[in-house]
Amino acid sequence: MTKGLSKINLTALTFGFAFLYLPIVLLVIYSFNASRLVTVWGGFSTKWYVELWNNQQLIDAALRSVQVGLVSATVATVLGTMAAIVLVRLGRFPGRTLFSGMIYAPLVMPDIITGLSMLLLFVAMDLSRGMFTLMLAHITFSMCYVAIVVQSRLLTFDRSLEEAALDLGCPPAKTFFVVTLPIILPAVISGWMLAFSLSIDDAVISQFATGPGASTLPIEIFSAVRRGVSPQMNAVCTILIAIVTSGVIIASIATKRAEVARMREERAAMAGR
Amino acid sequence: MAPKPAQKALGPIRRSFAPWLDPSAVPLIRFENVVKRFGDFTAVDDVSLDVHQREFFSLLGPSGCGKTTLMRMLAGFEHPTSGRITLAGEDLAGVPPYRRPVNMMFQSYALFPHMTVEQNVAFGLKQDGLPKPEIAARVAEMLRLVKLEPFAKRKPHQLSGGQRQRVALARSIAKRPKVLLLDEPLGALDKKLREETQFELMDLQMELGLTFLIVTHDQEEAMTVSDRIAVMDHGKLVQVATPGEIYEQPNCRYVADFIGNINLIEGTVESAGGGEVRVKGEDTPGAFVCAGDAALAQGSKVALAVRPEKMRVSLDAPPADATNVLQGEVWDLAYMGDWTVLLIKIDGSEKVLRVSRANMTRTEAKPIAWDDRVHVWFAPDAAVLLTS
């Protein structure tokens, strides 16, 4: 056994990270390019960010994305949590396999098919396409992700906690809100965040579900790029990356801190202090 | 818990406490022909059982014997397939767990991790809609009772195992239930703490005047705390009796073997009558005599059950009036401090008898050692005759 990195490991690591991050690094670097041409370096500049600030169309699209994300993630979390509870708690009922299969199907369904079927449904129902249909579509595809996250938490949930609440005189519905939900809340929140980021990120299904005047940020970026790549898009993407990265870093630091504090308290308790 | 004057006054009451012997006494809990099946598996098989008010009652048996299911049916988490459970005369069928006047202390303690000790203890009282000052007073009283006042604001993960156990206990007695159910309450504690807690539980039960129903697989625990014990096996009640009766008069091989250590000598009846039964040994050579009035046919199969401490052992020949004398060789010897346990292989057989001697003196002139030839004997009334 050798400690440290062997040559092979080092090479694998370099290639792996290069594959993952080279495109992103390039994108970030060129967002600060003074040149209008995406592939030619013309010196450092922040002018694309300034231009972005004045691009009302793009800002509107970003706000719309956040709006759709907030609404659809919230509704998807409620529905997904309910589905997870049914799957974990009801045990074996006729059609359980079919039901769970149907919840997971959207995970593997090509976006194109989901989007197209949404479009057909909306047309058949004579729903005018806009923000509302966009939210419906986002709820549909993000709900199953929430269901999976919450379900895995419920599987390890100690049922005797709920029994204890019932035993102490708390009716079942109230037990869910005062005992079960607070304990599984971290999973519900991460389900919400997953649903939110899926919604912000989606372009394909949104293309089908949206209508005039309701395009989201990914749709705007798509159509802008089709007209020719502008460094402005690099700037938008860099801002998105910054937001996501800082979110992840803050979340992981908070989790780590809570973990360390908990470990310390448990050790102290066991030592009899 | 500090000794309380009231406890002393309760002593004599305790000693004469045996409502199950009084035919006019009305039991608090009645299980009537209760059966519980899970699919093909019968967890509880036609159990009828009465538990009286203020009793400390144990359900004892190996895991999977149905004791926990029986308790969960009383709490309302399982429903009997057939049969009836009544509490203070009220049929519990159709009463949901949150409306039953019983509380349970869970094996895992089931403390709410997101609430403080105080909030955990207050939880049940809040559900009853008691006014806030009353809840606060009751919680303070409970925490004083289990000596957890300094920990009121802590969360469960900030407590040691013993402290968590106390919180669970305080939470389950805060509502003054008619019956407190305890599911393997001390299983997670180390031996010393477990013994302390057993005595605390007994004090608490007397002080509060509650009825305790405890589920355990630890026979020592059941013996220590209970007024009566129900021994269960494969969903059936095998024997229901006081700890003393269970130990001294087991009614079958299963109970004799499950509780404590015992020597079982298999044999056939040669003659019975005149207050004694003569048995010819099968796995142990010799003829034995045992006190008993049982009318047993000649040739019927029986077992003589003799506790290790009721056997005598000596290097010298036994007194002339000794009965049931055997010879053997010391195979193994374990010095336990208060007792020494000897395993003695009986001559002319494969039988190994377990004999224990109280170490009543610090030194012995001629101690028994490995491979010594010894005499083993027991009095006719030391043996219990088992037919099943």
Global ipTM: 0.83
What is the pLDDT at residue A268? 83
Full domain range(s) for residue A104: 64-229
Nearest Cα residue in chain A from B164:
A269
What is the pLDDT at residue B192? 83
What is the pLDDT at residue B15? 60
Nearest Cα residue in chain B from A173:
B98
CB spacing of B123 vs A168 below 8 angstroms: yes
Q: How far away is chain B from the Cα of A173, in angstroms, using its nearest Cα?
A: 12
Asked whether residue A41 is assigned to any structural domain, the reply reads: no
Residue B183's CB is within 10 A of a number of other CB atoms, namely 23
What is the pLDDT at residue B8? 44
**Mutate which of B68, B73, B160 to disrupt the A interface (most A C-beta within 10 Å)?**
B160
User: Is any Cβ of chain B less than 8 angstroms from the Cβ of A248?
Assistant: no
Residue B108 or A39, more confident: B108
Using CB atoms, pick whichever of B97, B108, B172 lies closest to residue A160: B108
CB spacing of A265 vs B75 below 8 angstroms: no
Q: Give residues 46 to 75 of A whose Cβ lies within 8 Å of B.
A: none
Do residues B184 and B108 lie in contact, with contact meaning Cβ atoms separated by under 8 Å?
Answer: no
CA dihedral B30, B35, B37, B42 (to 10 degrees): 110
- Quote the percentage of chain A above a pLDDT of 70: 98
What is the pLDDT at residue B7? 44
Nearest Cα residue in chain A from B99:
A169
CB spacing of A269 vs B127 below 8 angstroms: no
Do residues B296 and B302 lie in contact, with contact meaning Cβ atoms separated by under 8 Å?
Answer: yes
Over 80: is that where the pLDDT of A272 sits? no
CB spacing of A170 vs B103 below 8 angstroms: no
Q: How far away is chain A from the Cα of B124, in angstroms, using its nearest Cα?
A: 5
Residues of B in contact with A91 (CB under 8 A): none
What is the pLDDT at residue B101? 93
CB spacing of A161 vs B158 below 8 angstroms: no
Asked whether residue A111 is assigned to any structural domain, the reply reads: yes
Do residues A78 and A168 lie in contact, with contact meaning Cβ atoms separated by under 8 Å?
Answer: no
User: Is any Cβ of chain A less than 8 angstroms from the Cβ of B17?
Assistant: no
Pairing of strands B287-291, B276-281: antiparallel
What is the pLDDT at residue A99? 80
Report the alpha-carbon distance of residue B259 to residue B251 in Å, rounded: 12
What is the pLDDT at residue B5? 44
Q: Rounded to two decimals, what is the model's pTM?
A: 0.81
Report the alpha-carbon distance of residue B92 to residue B34 in Å, rounded: 12
Using CB atoms, pick whichever of B75, B108, B155 lies closest to residue A167: B75
Do residues B235 and B44 lie in contact, with contact meaning Cβ atoms separated by under 8 Å?
Answer: yes
CATH number for A153:
1.10.3720.10
User: Is any Cβ of chain A less than 8 angstroms from the Cβ of B107?
Assistant: yes
Residues of B in contact with A269 (CB under 8 A): 154, 157-160, 163
Domains of chain B with CATH codes: 5-101+177-254 (3.40.50.300), 261-386 (2.40.50.100)
Using CB atoms, pick whichever of A158, A166, A265 lies closest to residue B98: A166
Using CB atoms, pick whichever of A167, A266, A268 lies closest to residue B97: A167
Q: How far away is chain A from the Cα of B105, in angstroms, using its nearest Cα?
A: 8
Do residues A83 and A147 lie in contact, with contact meaning Cβ atoms separated by under 8 Å?
Answer: yes
Using CB atoms, pick whichever of A158, A169, A182 lies closest to residue B124: A169
Backbone angles phi, psi at B304, to 5 degrees: -95, 125
Residue A45's CB is within 10 A of a number of other CB atoms, namely 14
Residues of A in contact with B108 (CB under 8 A): 158, 160
Measured CA distances, B26 to B19, B29, B30, B178, B261 (Å) = 9, 9, 10, 15, 36
Asked whether residue A11 is assigned to any structural domain, the reply reads: no
Asked whether residue A13 is assigned to any structural domain, the reply reads: no
Q: Extract the runs of DSSP E, i.e. beta strands, from chain B.
A: 29-38, 41-51, 56-60, 82-87, 90-91, 102-105, 179-183, 211-216, 228-233, 236-241, 263-273, 276-281, 287-291, 301-306, 312-314, 326-335, 339-346, 352-358, 373-377, 383-386
CB spacing of A262 vs B157 below 8 angstroms: yes
Helices A217-226 and A181-201, packing angle to 10 deg = 20
Q: How far away is chain A from the Cα of B76, in angstroms, using its nearest Cα?
A: 8
Asked whether residue A264 is assigned to any structural domain, the reply reads: no
CB spacing of B104 vs A183 below 8 angstroms: no
User: Is any Cβ of chain B less than 8 angstroms from the Cβ of A262?
Assistant: yes
Which residues, including other chains, have CB under 8 Å from residue A159's CB and lie 6 or more apart? none
Q: Among the ranges A32-46, A238-252, B32-46, which has the highest mean pLDDT value?
A: B32-46
Backbone angles phi, psi at A249, to 5 degrees: -65, -45
Report the alpha-carbon distance of residue B370 to residue B27 in Å, rounded: 53
CB spacing of B103 vs A168 below 8 angstroms: yes
CB spacing of B158 vs A266 below 8 angstroms: yes
Q: Give residues 144 to 163 of A whose Cβ lies within 8 Å of B.
A: 158, 160-161, 163
Asked whether residue A136 is assigned to any structural domain, the reply reads: yes
Give me A94's structure tokens: 């006729």
Do residues A102 and A169 lie in contact, with contact meaning Cβ atoms separated by under 8 Å?
Answer: no
Name the average pLDDT for chain A.
Answer: 88
Asked whether residue A18 is assigned to any structural domain, the reply reads: no
Going residue by residue through chain B, which has 388 residues, state the pLDDT in tens, using 9 for 90 and above: 444 444 444 444 556 788 888 888 889 999 999 999 998 999 999 999 999 999 999 999 998 899 999 999 999 999 999 999 999 999 999 899 999 999 999 999 999 999 999 999 999 999 999 999 999 999 999 999 888 999 999 999 999 888 999 999 999 999 999 999 999 988 777 888 888 888 888 888 888 888 999 999 988 889 988 999 999 999 999 999 999 999 999 999 999 999 889 999 999 999 888 888 999 998 888 889 998 877 788 888 999 999 999 999 999 889 988 899 999 999 999 999 899 999 999 998 889 999 999 988 888 878 888 999 999 999 999 999 998 8
Using CB atoms, pick whichever of B108, B154, B160 lies closest to residue A272: B160
Report the alpha-carbon distance of residue A197 to residue A195 in Å, rounded: 6
CA B292 to chain centre: 26
Quick one: which H or E segment has residue B71? helix B67-75
Using CB atoms, pick whichever of A166, A169, A183 lies closest to residue B113: A183
**Mutate which of A92, A166, A168 to disrupt the B interface (most B C-beta within 10 Å)?**
A168
Report the alpha-carbon distance of residue B228 to residue B213 in Å, rounded: 10
User: Is any Cβ of chain B less than 8 angstroms from the Cβ of A126?
Assistant: no
CB spacing of A269 vs B157 below 8 angstroms: yes
How many domains does one find in chain A? 1
Q: Which residue has the tokens 């519905």?
A: A173
Report the alpha-carbon distance of residue B289 to residue B272 in Å, rounded: 10
Residue B192 or A206, more confident: A206
Count how many pairs of residues, chain A against chain B, have C-beta atoms within 8 Å. Answer: 75
Q: How far away is chain A from the Cα of B127, in angstroms, using its nearest Cα?
A: 6
User: Is any Cβ of chain A less than 8 angstroms from the Cβ of B106?
Assistant: yes
CB spacing of A170 vs B128 below 8 angstroms: no
Classify residue B371 by its DSSP letter.
T
User: Is any Cβ of chain A less than 8 angstroms from the Cβ of B157?
Assistant: yes
Over 80: is that where the pLDDT of A3 sits? no
Residues of B in contact with A179 (CB under 8 A): 112
Q: Give residues 171 to 230 of A whose Cβ lies within 8 Å of B.
A: 171-172, 179, 182-183
Report the alpha-carbon distance of residue A1 to residue A13 in Å, rounded: 19
Report the alpha-carbon distance of residue B132 to residue B125 in Å, rounded: 9
Asked whether residue A99 is assigned to any structural domain, the reply reads: yes
